[in-house]
């Protein structure tokens, strides 16, 4: 077995199986959550649910992350907030605007778009990796977090961190032969795809559920979410 064969395996059958599990698993999770059912809404609608949802998204995604100091949650926990925010931003930018990733989207959906310049991506991917390490140290040392952390949390951290670090090394051409680090990146990505539907990382999807419901509830009561 040589690395060229391993790369071919990880780009081919392994990634294929991972995508199958990802799509089927996520559909399963989605249905399970939707079929939990919800109570009939008997209270009178005082405001606009739609408006509440819109405001909730705008504030949550585009306003508050950039003026975090207005929130009490930030003042209580600056480190987690900054590192967590930077990590999510980096992941988003690299996944959506990294040229290699754009080619993946293009192969899946048939269209691509322009990427960001490599130095900017390099900065953000490094920032994302450092944030992950900071968050890990924080979790290892914080007395309360330590008590809250169970085994799957470490898996969550690992399956997200591995693709990030291997991707960074690959994009910068450091230390390894390209096909070796490319294979390791794809293997770790496959692990992530397989794990996502069954772990907490599925919040990338369910986040939008809670954000919508929370916004709608606030809108109904005519209060700012």
Binding residues for other proteins, per CB under 8 A? 2-5, 7-8, 11-13, 15-16, 19-20, 23-32, 35-36, 99-104, 106-108, 112, 114-119, 121, 178-179, 182
- Tokens for 14, please give them: 């392994």
Task: Give min distance, CB of 198 to other proteins, in A.
Answer: 12
Nearest in space to 152 (alpha carbons), one of 193, 200, 188:
200
On the 0-12 / 13-18 / 19+ scale of CB atoms within 10 A, 66 is: exposed
Minimum separation from the CB atom of position 35 to other proteins (A) = 4
Sign of the dihedral defined by the CA atoms of residues 123, 121, 129, 147, in that order? positive
Quote the CA–CA distance of 190 and 109 in Å, as a whole number.
19
Quick one: 119 or 143, whose CB is closer to other proteins? 119
Q: Whole-angstrom Cα distance, residue 7 to residue 163?
A: 15
Tell me how far, at minimum, the Cβ of 24 lies from other proteins, in Å: 4
Q: Which is nearer to other proteins, 24 or 222 (CB)?
A: 24
Give the shortest CB-212-to-other proteins separation in angstroms. Answer: 20
Shortest Å, Cβ 155 to other proteins: 21
Cβ 208 to other proteins shortest distance, Å = 18
- Residue closest to 123 by CA, chosen among 96, 86, 157, 158: 86
Which is closer to other proteins, CB of 40 or CB of 114?
114
C-beta closer to other proteins: residue 53 or 196: 196
CA 216 distance to own-chain centroid = 24
Cα Dmax for the chain: 67
> Which one, 8 or 149, has the nearer CB to other proteins?
8
What is the distance of C-alpha 107 from the center of its chain? 21
Name the residue with tokens 């819109």.
54
Name the residue nearer to other proteins (CB basis): 35 or 43. Answer: 35
Structure tokens belonging to residue 46? 């005082």
């Amino acid at each position: 077995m040589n690395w060229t064969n391993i790369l071919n395996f990880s780009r081919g059958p392994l990634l294929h199986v991972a995508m199958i599990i990802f799509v089927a698993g996520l559909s399963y999770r989605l249905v399970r959550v939707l079929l939990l059912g919800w109570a009939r809404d008997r209270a009178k609608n005082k405001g606009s649910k739609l408006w509440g949802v819109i405001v909730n998204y705008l504030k949550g995604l585009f306003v508050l992350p950039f003026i975090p100091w207005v929130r009490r949650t930030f003042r209580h926990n600056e480190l987690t907030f900054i590192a967590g925010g930077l990590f999510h931003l980096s992941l988003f930018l690299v996944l959506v605007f990294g040229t290699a990733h754009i080619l993946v989207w293009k192969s899946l959906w048939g269209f691509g778009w322009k990427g960001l310049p490599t130095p900017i991506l390099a900065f953000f991917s490094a920032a994302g990796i450092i944030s992950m390490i900071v968050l890990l140290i924080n979790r290892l040392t914080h007395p309360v977090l330590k008590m809250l952390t169970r085994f799957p949390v470490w898996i969550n951290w690992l399956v997200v961190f591995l693709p990030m670090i291997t991707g960074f090394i690959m994009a910068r051409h450091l230390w390894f032969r390209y096909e070796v680090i490319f294979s390791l990146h794809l293997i770790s990505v496959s692990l992530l795809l397989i794990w996502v539907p069954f772990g907490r990382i599925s919040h990338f999807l369910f986040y939008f559920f809670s954000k919508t419901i929370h916004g709608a509830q606030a809108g109904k009561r005519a209060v700012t979410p």
